[in-house]
Amino acid sequence: MGGRDTDIVLLDENGIRSDGRKVNETRKVTIKAGVLKNANGSAYIEFGDNKILVGVYGPRDVHPKHMSDTDTGILRCRYHMAPFSVGERKNPAPSRREIEISKVIKEALEPAVMLKEFPRTAVDVYMEVLQADGGTRCAALTGASVALADAGIPMRDLVAGCAAGKAADAVILDVNNEEDQAGQADLPIGYMPNLKKITLLQLDGVLTPEEYKQCIEIGIEGCNQVYEIQKKALQDKFFASGEKQ
């Protein structure tokens, strides 16, 4: 953040953002469950211009063996951006940013996944960002929950992701790339709507305590909307033949 200098108008006089959205509106989200043949569970998510493919393998044997835990299964997450996913080619080796995001997404999913059911095993979640446009960690987290559910892994809740933030002095929902670069704050949220628990939360940028409260509130509202789309994706896959829910 840090408010880089730019000529882009992030919010016009009618309260409309640079991509035509209102302040409290998310981008268009579409999710499809079960898109990969080999993975135990998978999902493809489009979150605005973000395009992310998630594959889940497991529960399966842990390699290397010393990582296995006799009391519980372990969750391993890899968030990775394709070299062609951004404007300037990204080095395909995992960056420090990707290592950190993998860790926060893992910790966002852990409260939802009932890992104690599978001691000595691992569940691997691979998130491949094919195109990035701001808010990839929330989109990847959203897709990962659907892929885990698609794999039939017992879960307490789905985790839905959506960011809130601040641009042009206004609190906004679902920060896109332009707003992330030129805006004032970005607050990604991961939320379990049934359990009402926030499992992913980061912030960069300056917020007053009042704006911070508003951001969390509006962010949770965004997550609730994303949650409905996640459930629909699972219903579409498992009840496609017209069965009743």
Binding site for other proteins (CB under 8 A): 1-2, 4-5, 96-97, 99-100, 102-104, 107, 110-111, 187, 192, 195-209, 212-213, 216-217, 220
Nearest residue to 173 via CA among 181, 185, 165: 165
Cα 86 to Cα 106: distance, rounded to the nearest angstrom? 23
Compare residues 33 and 104 and give the one whose CB is closer to other proteins. 104
Measured from the CB of residue 110, what is the shortest distance to other proteins in angstroms? 4
Compare residues 26 and 102 and give the one whose CB is closer to other proteins. 102
Cα 243 to Cα 233: distance, rounded to the nearest angstrom? 15
Q: Could you tell me the two tokens for 111?
A: 């409260």
Measured from the CB of residue 148, what is the shortest distance to other proteins in angstroms? 15
Measured from the CB of residue 96, what is the shortest distance to other proteins in angstroms? 5
Angle between helices 136-150 and 96-109 (to 10 degrees): 50
Compare residues 34 and 188 and give the one whose CB is closer to other proteins. 188
> Cα–Cα distances in Å, from 25 out to 11, 20, 54, 172, 208?
13, 10, 25, 8, 22
Overall residue count recorded for the chain in this entry: 245
Compare residues 56 and 187 and give the one whose CB is closer to other proteins. 187
Measured from the CB of residue 205, what is the shortest distance to other proteins in angstroms? 6
